[in-house]
Structure 1
């Protein structure tokens, strides 16, 4: 099992970086794949088709956001189980996750095929592109089960300390998608000509192939999270584990909704500034997607690594993981910010063309706001550590405050004084506010303590462990739990 790092004993600095880099590469591949698929659609079909794909991509984002929170909960549960050395508990978590969301995803796929016209009507899709959007969205729903299961499996594998396997099969999915897009759009060779639906079909085929290959690989390599024999019964959801995943995963999923809602409100302000400003902001958003990737990857790595060390009772390492993650974020995100500011003209011209008046507007937006991703990166590490011990409500509340009262209050309230600059400055204002509150929570909050988990009596040896066994909201030595494993009456290892 060479793909898996020992996150509780290996050197922190080197391990954290090598664990984060494959996650970063996966994120970059996903974004690049989306961009290239859009290029295929635009070049082979036309601009109306590009507009039509926006609806399908929005639905896919919302569905992925839905599973993201539960995937993060599974990551933490698996990580803490691995930290305790309880592989069976980790397998039960994976079984419940897959057993729950596989039928949900299949149901959504079937319903989505029939309800696609209603969904488009709800989204207010322009009549000129409704037919194209319907063809694309229906096939996108068919791809949903593979995409959601791939996402869930990749997140649980990272919780076990394996960041390489998800990267391998993300590469397979992306390469297949890029190659198959023109094949099914144009009907090359024996493939049927499907037009815009061919782009979604290429996405579906590539993800199903990658999912099947990943499952084969997991069993062929006998990776720790595979289920065999009697363990296949774990696919029947354990209601106590599922309730725990819902309680922890739902707030993390809602965070995506909070951020999206804030962005929609900001877009109303941006659209009032005229077409050039809207185009400039759109180009800036594309660039910001890449600027924030190191923070997202390091946050995922810190969460998995901290969860395993909390499960093992290694609180001395948890603080060092957080500090090193912050340093890496400042270096990597700060470097990308500096690179973007230095090459802002060229970067904007890639998206807007060399003669567009939107280029200078985009440069101005980037100069005012892009530096905010440095405090954003630090916040991601702090939140990742806090969530690794089960505290998900306070990060959600902090994000809500910083996205709405702070960001929107700044953007709307100061527009009379600052003009459009109030919109751009509201981004770093919200990010700095989030950082300040995250630091206060990390330093003075009770996230290290056991809070909403009730420790049940240890079961007899022949019984299955209670739900409390799957989540250790344990404190460091000196706190009420004394760094002890919650499902055994013995000191935590480490």
Structure 2
């Protein structure tokens, strides 16, 4: 069967495919992150510290929603990629039907439950009483926006499964532009548009997400009307549901572990005062920015791995890993060198206080060289995820965060002369452990045996 739609990643230049796949994802992530920072600036300058506090206390819940969206839809992307590589259109249709059916169920459950229990969740997080009403209203609107977040992630995952990352980028650009215009407009009001304060920011996000979902749905419906990329029936067949959950749930848990790990580390940093907390907050943003190129390559590696496993072209997996690492090295190496040579200058971009700059500079000098581990473990994890072994990458994260980073950071900061620098060292050591464990499984894990069985099935 000849595949007439999507992008076949099982033939042609591997580095070219990786770059073409990863670049739109990277641009989309940068746009989303950049606008998140701009949105905070709007809220802070137009509404004040109470509004910023209301957004801040809601943020952990929002991160959990994003983790649920990306974790569940990652399974869709990986499974469609493998079926696409095998040119198994009935299988693709079954995955699409199940993904939409599961998605609608999750949307209804989370939205209804989230709106009903918003106030209780915020109280559980220790939200101060003076901002609780403001935060509750904002969080309820955010919960209402969960449907848009999930559906936009699902549509993008379906398209990524067939090798298309450019169209999802266009939807992100459209959504970001709409949000940028509506945010200040709905917050302060203009003419007949009433001033909606913080709720205006939430409503702007709701409308902007809709501008990504509706065109995305229409595009997929018309562009692929004869292809198995649109839902055609409600399906809840047990084996397929379990398969989606087996891949998606560990990814969700892995992202929640990262959030939990951050919460523990910042609690240790808080012992050293406000300057240390501020420095770590800024340094964490730098970590996120550095990781973005590697994460984009990881998603490209996952899709290519899944397609090539589906096609039975196992010999390309080693090449995918090699070129993924090579593509990662230049950007991350430059950033690492800058962190070692110019840490104070980097910190001054974000803050002017001398004590914060010095503390952050110490972080960058210690952690900066550790960024080089990103070049390897994100690619290695991408291979493992592409093989559908997300339970393994979840376990790797658990070992790194819960068994290494958190206890080691606590011990070194309390019981050694390193103090605060002990926390930074623990972070680097956890990067190294992640890399080592990922490579060990990549080279010696049983996933290769499963791949060969899958390849045999394709050939027959």
Q: TM-score range by the shorter chain?
A: over 0.9
* Structure 1: tracts of 5 or more residues without a match: 451-473, 476-480
Distance, in Å, in 2 between the alignment partners of 1:422 and 1:444 is 32
SS of the residue 2:448 aligns to: coil
Q: CA deviation at 1:343?
A: 4.6
Q: Distance in 1 between matches of 2:373 and 2:131?
A: 40
Aligned Cα RMSD in Å?
Answer: 1.9
**Structure 2 counterparts to residues 153-302 of structure 1, below 5 A:** 153-222=155-224, 224-227=227-230, 232-233=232-233, 235-302=234-301
* Contact map agreement 1:105 1:148 (CA 8 A) in 2: yes
Deviation at 1:3, TM superposition (A): 9.4
Distance in 2 of aligned mates of 1:345 and 1:443: 40
Distance 1:70 1:426, change over 3 A: same
| Runs (4+) off by over 6 Å | none
Query: Counterparts of 1:392 and 1:484 in 2: how far apart (Å)?
Result: 22
Measure the CA separation in 2 of the matches of 1:107 and 1:189. 38
**Partner Cα separation in structure 2 for residue 45 and residue 412 of structure 1:** 37
Distance 2:192 2:238 in 1: 47
Map residues 47-86 of structure 1 onto 2, 5 A cutoff.
Answer: 47-86=49-88
Task: Tell me the matched-pair count.
Answer: 455
Which shifted more, 253-262 or 72-81? 253-262
Moved more, 439-448 or 387-396: 387-396
Is the 2:367–2:428 contact (alpha carbons within 8 Å) kept by the matching residues of 1? yes
Corresponding residue of 2:141: 139
Alpha-carbon shift at residue 279 of structure 1 (Å): 0.5
TM-score (norm 2): 0.94
- Match for residue 447 of structure 1? 447
The equivalent of 1:387 in structure 2 is 385
> Per the alignment, do residues 4 and 347 of structure 1 end up closer, same or farther by CA in structure 2, a change over 3 Å counting?
farther
- For residues 174 and 57 of structure 1, the distance between their equivalents in structure 2, rounded to whole angstroms, comes to 19
The 3 A distance-change label for structure 1 pair 92 and 482 is: closer
Equivalent pair of 2:183/2:200 in contact (CA under 8 Å): yes
Distance 1:226 1:311 in 2: 17
Q: 1:405 to 1:113 in 2, by over 3 A?
A: closer
What is the match of residue 101 of structure 1? 103
Aligned to 2:32: 30
* Distance of aligned partners of 1:355 and 1:431 in 2 relative to their CA distance in 1, 3 Å threshold: closer
Give the Å deviation of 1:404: 1.9
> Which residue number in structure 1 is paired with residue 455 of structure 2?
483
SS at match of 1:128: coil
Once the two structures are superposed, the pairs formed by residues 416-427 of structure 1 within 5 Å of their partners are 416-417=415-416, 418-427=418-427
Which residue does the alignment assign to 2:409? 411
Ranges in structure 2 where 5+ consecutive residues have no aligned partner: none
Give the alignment's TM-score, normalised by structure 1: 0.88
Of the candidates 357, 361, 364, which is equivalent to residue 362 of structure 2?
364
Deviation per CA, 1:107-158, whole angstroms, max 9, x where unpaired? 3223322322111111110122112211211111111100111112212211
CA spacing shift, 1:200–1:101, aligned 2, 3 Å: same
Q: Distance in 1 between matches of 2:354 and 2:188?
A: 32
Q: Is the 8 A contact 1:74 1:93 kept in 2?
A: yes
Distance in 2 (CA, whole Å) between partners of 1:3 and 1:163 is 14
How far off its partner does 1:323 sit? 0.9
Contact preservation (8 Å) 2:155, 2:217: no
Higher helix proportion (structure 1 or 2): 2
